[in-house]
């Protein structure tokens, strides 16, 4: 817009122009340099740059479970990061991947606070140099960086390591770390080395064991040791192929840690109808979270009857035709006897919120929901989502769930 016969936008400072350009895709922001000589250096003032490739096919991956759009990328990097980006003093957020870094000898990103590297194939030493060249870095995410075998980080408030399958050791200064995310196989006991503080001060912890279900005692023992590192978490998110996988193994988890400060527990995984071990697994975990206030269960869908995995089905009309609900009104809902039937103390007195997400109405899911809701007198809010399917089945499932809620004044909200 012209102001007094001139270009008012060009009269703004570089900092303001950089802030405006930060809302554009990186390619479009860089093109602004050709507008005029005034704009030639404005890209250096941009504070947010994303060089992440566009996502793959659009699907409702919340409904379909563990699908991740980036899983579709399987090829060599097609771009190289501009060398000038590694000395951009104004840059605060940088998202890269899949790209070649090819960083210069000198890296100086004094203002960078957030860094995401996905499918970066440069040598691990270059990745480490980039991280070390960001003295104010607070939020770091590495995703599918297979060349990285060792990592050393300091000053972070959040660290996420996803599918970096060759990463063997991570040395982290835990003095300021508040959130940690991990996705991959069960890590070795030497995987995470903390200095400058204890990992028990981490408030948010997400662990996603993304391979096949872990069954060996040695692997489960390593998972138990990994959980011990985050015994001070307030929010714990555990994801595995099967809901609560392995937690019922009393030998491997003989010393399952106590989580005295845990307030919100989220478990994700598949719960087939023949799985009765979930009761022992869940009650053992809840007994070790005496002050738990919120429990969320996210049920991954089971493979469809014809062998196709619902998580890889692209067409929603096919999902509606073969819907994911597994409701049988004639099923007998009986909680297994023995240790699995014990009611944890936190459920009786502290749990105020329960969420059931992607609830499909199978016998095991209904039995688990009945057990929880009939033993949670302090509940104030019940929420969740039903899997797709006929409306009459969804309505019948909601009525059944509402009948199990002990506190009839609790807010029930199912989508």
The pLDDT, as a whole number, for residue 23 is 46
More confidently predicted of 293 and 85: 293
Is the pLDDT score of 65 beyond 90?
Answer: no
Q: Of 125-129, 241-245, 319-323, 327-331, which gets the smallest average pLDDT?
A: 319-323
pLDDT for position 264 = 98
What pLDDT band is residue 216 in, cutting at 50, 70 and 90? confident
For the ranges 12-26, 28-42, 131-145, 267-281, the one whose mean pLDDT is highest: 131-145
More confident call, 365 vs 90 = 365
Is the pLDDT confidence value at 59 over 70? Answer: no
Mean pLDDT of 60-84: 53
Mean pLDDT computed over 25-43: 49
Q: Is the pLDDT of residue 318 over 70?
A: no
pLDDT value at residue 324: 80
Indicate the pLDDT class of residue 98, thresholds 50, 70 and 90. confident
pLDDT at residue 349 is higher than 50: yes
pLDDT at 342: 79
Q: What band does 14 get if pLDDT is binned at 50, 70 and 90?
A: low
State pLDDT tens for residues 273-307.
888 788 889 999 999 999 999 999 999 987 655 44
SS3 of the chain: the string is CEECCEECHHHCCHHHHHHHHCCCCHHHHHHHHHCCHHHCCHHHHCCEEEEECCCCCCCCHHHHCCCCHHHHCCCCCCCECCHHHHHCCCCCEEEEECCECCCCCCCCCCCCCEEEEECCCCCHHHHHHHHHCCCCCCEEEEECCCCCCEEEECCCCEEEEECCCCCCEEEEECCCCCEEEEEECCCCCCCEEEECCCHHHCCEEEEEECCCCCCCHHHHHHHHHHHHCCCCCCEEEEEEEECCCCCCCCCCCCCCCCCCCCCEEEEEEECCCCCCHHHHHHHHHHHCCCCCCEEEEEEECCCCCCCCCHHHCCCHHHHHHCCCCCCCCCCCCCCCCCHHHCCCHHHHHCCCEEEEEEECCCHHHHHHHHHHHCCCCCCCEEEEEECCCCHHHHHHHHHHHHHHCCCCCCEEEEC
pLDDT tier at 193 (50, 70, 90 boundaries)? very high
Mean residue pLDDT of the chain comes to 81
**pLDDT value at 369 more than 90:** yes
pLDDT at position 53:
59
**Whole-number pLDDT of residue 97:** 84
């Amino acid at each position: 817009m012209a102001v007094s016969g001139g270009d008012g936008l060009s009269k703004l400072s570089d900092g303001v122009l950089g802030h405006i350009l930060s809302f554009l895709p990186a390619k479009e922001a860089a093109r602004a340099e050709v507008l005029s000589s005034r704009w030639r250096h404005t890209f250096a003032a941009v504070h947010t740059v994303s060089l992440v490739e566009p996502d793959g096919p659009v699907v409702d991956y919340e409904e379909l479970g563990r699908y991740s759009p980036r899983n579709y990328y399987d090829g060599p990097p097609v771009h190289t990061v501009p060398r000038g980006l590694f000395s951009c003093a104004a840059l605060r957020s940088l998202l890269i991947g899949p790209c070649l870094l090819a960083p210069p000898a000198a890296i100086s990103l004094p203002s960078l606070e957030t860094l995401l590297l996905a499918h970066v194939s440069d040598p691990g030493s270059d990745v480490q140099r980039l991280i070390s060249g960001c003295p104010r870095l607070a939020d770091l995410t590495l995703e599918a960086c297979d060349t990285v075998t060792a990592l050393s980080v300091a000053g972070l408030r959040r660290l996420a390591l996803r599918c970096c399958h060759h990463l063997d050791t991570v040395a982290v200064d835990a003095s300021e770390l508040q959130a940690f995310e991990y996705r991959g196989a069960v890590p070795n006991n030497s995987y995470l080395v903390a200095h400058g503080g204890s990992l028990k001060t981490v408030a948010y912890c997400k662990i996603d064991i993304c391979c096949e279900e872990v069954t060996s005692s040695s692997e489960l023992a390593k998972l138990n040791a990994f959980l011990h590192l985050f015994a001070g978490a307030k929010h714990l998110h555990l994801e595995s192929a099967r809901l609560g996988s392995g937690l019922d193994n009393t030998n491997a988890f003989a010393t399952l840690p106590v989580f005295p400060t845990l307030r919100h527990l989220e478990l994700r995984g598949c719960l087939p109808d023949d799985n009765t071990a979930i009761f022992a697994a869940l009650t053992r975990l809840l007994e070790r979270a005496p002050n738990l206030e919120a429990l969320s269960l996210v049920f991954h869908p089971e493979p469809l009857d014809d062998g196709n995995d619902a998580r890889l089905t692209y067409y929603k009309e096919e999902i509606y035709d073969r819907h994911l609900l597994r409701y049988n009104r004639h099923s007998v809902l009986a909680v297994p006897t023995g240790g699995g039937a014990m009611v944890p103390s936190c459920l009786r007195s502290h749990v105020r919120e329960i969420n059931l997400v992607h609830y499909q109405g199978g016998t095991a899911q209904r039995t688990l929901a009945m057990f929880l809701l009939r033993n949670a007198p302090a509940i104030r809010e019940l929420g969740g989502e039903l899997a797709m399917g006929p409306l009459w089945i969804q309505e019948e499932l909601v009525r059944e769930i509402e009948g199990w809620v002990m506190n009839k004044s609790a807010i029930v909200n199912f989508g």
